[in-house]
Amino acid sequence: MNNYLEEIRAKLFHNYQDFSVSGTLITVEAVKNAYLGVHTSGEKGNMTLRKLVELHNQHMEGVIKPGAMKNYRGTAMYVRKFLDRTYPAKDIHLKDINYQFITAFEYYIRNNPIKKECPCTNNGAMKNLERLKKILLWAIKNE
């Protein structure tokens, strides 16, 4: 247990040093967020997946037909549950999304149905991945 606590202390100290070197304002909240992998929304390039999915669904509410929006809300639910279960910060930065993340997300969709009596088939898993891809491409186009 002492080794684990020492590792946490070392990571916090490293984050504190990074802030000192960069000249960033050092606050307890900033060090905590850096440790958890969460950055403030004002920092360009630090958009998170959870925020992106919510933003996308808000912007597309009147554009996409209601049946399709229902599917996007289902994908959003999968994303939220996956992030809550997989990441301590319950979110991930877009710049950190990689192939490993996508395959882990696909595995999660296939093995953790939203409705217990209705597991996600191959087509359902692929449609959720397709919607996630569309959301990520929407983010790229909007910088």
CB 49 within 8 A of CB 92: yes
**Residue 23 clears pLDDT 70, i.e. is over it:** no
pLDDT at 40: 52
Rounded to 5 degrees, what angle do the CA atoms 73, 92, 105 make? 60
pTM of the model: 0.66
pLDDT at 38: 67
**Cβ-count burial of 36 within 10 angstroms (0-12 exposed, 13-18 middle, 19+ buried)?**
middle
